[in-house]
Amino acid sequence: MALLIKGGEVVTADARLRADILVEGETIRAIGSGLAVPPGAEVIDAAGKLVFPGFIDPHVHIYLPCKGSFAADTHSTASRAALAGGTTTYIEMCGPNRHEDALEGYNTWKRRAEGASACDYAFHMTVSRWDEKTEAQLRQIVADGVTSFKIYLAYKGLFGLSDDEMVQVLRFARGMGVVTAAHCENADEISRLQQQFLAEGKTGPEWHEHSRPESVEAEGTARFAKHIEATGAEGYVVHVSCAPALGAALDAKRRGANIHIESVLPHLLLDKTCAERPGIEGFKNVMSPPLRDERNHAALWTALDEGLIDIIGTDHCPFTTAQKMEGRDDFTQIPNGVPGIEDRVNLIYTYGVQRGRLNLCRFVDVLSTRPAKIFGLYPRKGAIAVGSDADIVVYDPGYRGSITAARQYTNNDYNCYEGWPIEGRPTIVTVRGKVQVRDGVFVGEQGRGRLIRRTPRPA
Ligand code: URP
Ligand code: ZN
């Protein structure tokens, strides 16, 4: 059925205009004022509403093995959560560890999503070792439409690469036209500090940040950036949490390195005192890089507003309270990561746009258009344009409500933003022309989501 979205203010990364949008089939057919209603079309009254391109979360973990169990979301639950919050495409970290076969891992991750996701999705492929098989396997994975790799400088022995391996991956990625995302923390320094604190009897979640200080992230970021410059590869620093790491990435950018910068929701809104809360509350707020001293927020928001930070993702990791409490006697055993896929758009709208920290076009850019451009989804995604996928969010800036785990689609038993007021919410969310959410409620088709295959961009 055709859809006519009438009378809203269309907001893209570079313009705001009052216009109607006609959707036929899966794509946007026309944009203009006073468009006629085609026979049988559903008319969506968008007067007083903002109309955005579907939002893209470029950093999520859904199928996430951890210490013999799994984080709680499936693609069914995570995609409904994403859609309720206005995210119509996510890019999942496909994450086999260095003891597993990369290609088998890729196929496992793919199977988990097939027929389950209600929104579109793609994958970043984690490269957790480099050996004689790796190159051939990665060629197959790239040929299947995966044009971004993920590497870890942290988590030595499980996901972490040596510097020699990192250079091999970057040279290969450059030749293939693939962007490499990196988790930049110095693994050796973290191990040394963790052992020191545990030996001193410092076992609680409040010690997590001290074991991974800002200097550890800044060093990892500078080292990754140095290798990006030396190899001429395209890099993407994930979850930059603090001013020193941001500075290291920006220095490289200024020298001409082809490097993009991501920050994630928790680092913009939460701070290290959340992990210092008593009882189970502290455990819920453990992630890596850790939540930082609040003084970092201003540096991150300013860099976002100025376009120096490219993207806001979530690093969605839906561990339950019970899983978090596995680290009750040893903070190094707390599963790292917090959920956020459902709340990113509303929280950034409320605490970014509504508080004057981010203008509306930058809001669209950091949450939709730049992820689409950097990760090869544009202009199919990340745009309101004739011929683009009809992934559209009709957004009510007059909505007032608050966040609570009791009403969330995300499959876990807490929300780090419990009780936070929100000032805005999607009223209609479409995926390729089909309405999947009305007024915060998933009304769509589970399994509608498609794997979006991308094309590499060799230099
Ligand atoms: O704490 C986090 N971020 N866990 C997920 C793994 C990662 O580093 O992205
Ligand atoms: Zn992550």
Chain-centroid distance of CA 271 in Å reads 19
How far, in Å, CA of 370 to CA of 61, rounded? Answer: 20
Range of the domain at 391: 3-52+385-398+424-446
Mind giving me the DSSP string for 229-248? Answer: HHHT-EEEE----SHHHHHH
- Mean pLDDT in runs of 10 for the chain (459 residues)? 97 98 98 97 98 99 94 98 98 97 98 98 98 96 98 96 98 98 98 98 98 98 98 98 98 98 98 97 98 98 98 98 97 98 98 98 98 98 98 98 98 97 98 98 97 93
How far, in Å, CA of 303 to CA of 310, rounded? Answer: 9
Mind giving me the DSSP string for 264-280? Answer: EHHHHH--GGGGGSTTH
How far, in Å, CA of 33 to CA of 182, rounded? Answer: 44
Mutate to test the pocket of ligand 1, among 90, 94, 158, 183 (most ligand atoms within 8 A of CB): 183
- Phi and psi angles of residue 322, each rounded to the nearest 5 degrees, phi first: -60, -40
Smallest Cα–Cα separation from 300: which of 273, 270, 326, 322? Answer: 270
Q: Give the CATH number of the domain where residue 23 resides.
A: 2.30.40.10
Distance from Cα 61 to the centre of ligand 2, integer Å: 6
Q: Give the CATH number of the domain where residue 288 resides.
A: 3.20.20.140
Question: What is the reported pLDDT for 449?
Answer: 98
Mutate to test the pocket of ligand 1, among 287, 323, 324, 331 (most ligand atoms within 8 A of CB): 287
Beta strands (DSSP E) in 143-301 are 148-152, 179-183, 234-237, 259-264
Establish if 251 belongs to a structural domain: yes
CA atoms within 13 A on the CB side of 332: 16
Considering the domain architecture, whether residues 189 and 210 belong to the same structural domain is answered as yes
Smallest Cα–Cα separation from 293: which of 242, 237, 352, 217? Answer: 242
Question: What is the reported pLDDT for 138?
Answer: 98
The residue contributing the CA closest to ligand 1 atom 2 is 337
Question: What is the reported pLDDT for 5?
Answer: 98
Considering the domain architecture, whether residues 15 and 136 belong to the same structural domain is answered as no
Question: What is the reported pLDDT for 458?
Answer: 83
Considering the domain architecture, whether residues 229 and 249 belong to the same structural domain is answered as yes
Q: Which residues partner with 66 through β-bridges?
A: 69
Considering the domain architecture, whether residues 115 and 64 belong to the same structural domain is answered as yes
Considering the domain architecture, whether residues 110 and 20 belong to the same structural domain is answered as no
Question: What is the reported pLDDT for 404?
Answer: 98
